[in-house]
Amino acid sequence: MEIDLLIAVATPMEIDPFLALSKVVHRRTMPGNIPLITACINDIKFQVIITGPGMVNTALALGCYLGHHHPPLIIQTGIAGFFHGKGLSMGGVGIATAEINIHCGVENPEQCFPLLPLPFSLTGTPMEGSDGQLAMHPGLVNTARMHITQQFLSGRVLPGINPLKASYPRKCPVISGPFITVSTITASKPTATRLSRAYTPVMESMEGMAAAHTACRYDVPFLEIRCASNPVGVRDKKAWDIPLAVEGIAMALAALFDSGEPFWTQITPPDPI
């Protein structure tokens, strides 16, 4: 079956509420014991790949998939920590404008962050800036943000299999900005403050840069859309709301599917330099 996009997510629980809205057509396991789910909402057909957490799992899973398939778009999604002062709050939706691997570079003897850029390119593509960041396609980012915002403000009932007639959240913030990818989850206020000053990030995750890098090397358009489950900083699990965040993922993805047309196929990718 020809698909309209691929959704990548680290764990099943992050995507289960969205799959509950969908008609699941097929489930199978790829080499490496990587789950692959084929489903649809309205007339949009998609696949979900459960990569496992972290950059190695994500690159491995996507590389395995993209060696045999070339989807029109990859959306990396899941829950993530949000940085205070960037417009997000618990349950808010963040869309990455750039991906930054904060642990890839040359040690800066003057300060912990940011690292100095490597003296060579990692991808050899126009997406990669001189500072090692990977920039997302602004047309994709802006259009995705517009679609999600408009549907949320409408307060309409979500599409798909929705027996409880759940509606979009009218007051949920939808913010775009840089995301950082970490190998160590931030668990202190001083570290969160340093990261915020160095990178002005909206969110922190463990998979984004690997997914963006892999999509870039295979020349597949890429978006990262996440929902805020906790503030970045002191690791106080009592202040987290994972159920709210996974519900937000379902609503954000449903908003992109709601028109019944894959908007991303109408956006021209950036011209090569």
Q: Is residue 157 part of a domain?
A: yes
- 70 within some domain: no
Distance between CA 174 and CA 33 in Å, rounded?
34
Q: Are 5 and 48 in contact (CB under 8 A)?
A: no
The C-alpha angle with vertex 270 and arms to 119 and 222, in degrees rounded to 5, equals: 80
Q: What's the number of domains the chain is made of?
A: 1
Owning domain of residue 232: 76-265
pLDDT higher than threshold 80 for residue 97: yes
Average pLDDT over every residue of 213-224: 95
Render pLDDT for 125-146 as a digit per residue (tens, 0 to 9). 778 876 778 999 999 999 999 9
Tokens 């330099």 belong to 273
The span from the first CA to the last CA of the chain, in angstroms, equals 34
Q: What is the DSSP letter of 118?
A: P
Q: d(Cα 65, Cα 76) in Å, to the nearest integer?
A: 14
Find the length of the chain.
273
**pTM for this entry:** 0.94
| CB-based contacts of 264, cutoff 8 Å, min separation 6 | 5, 72, 73, 140, 143, 144, 221, 223
Residue 237 lies in a domain: yes
CATH of the domain at 128: 3.40.50.1580
| 13, part of any domain | no
Left, alpha or beta for 219 (phi > 0: left; psi -120 to 50: alpha)? left
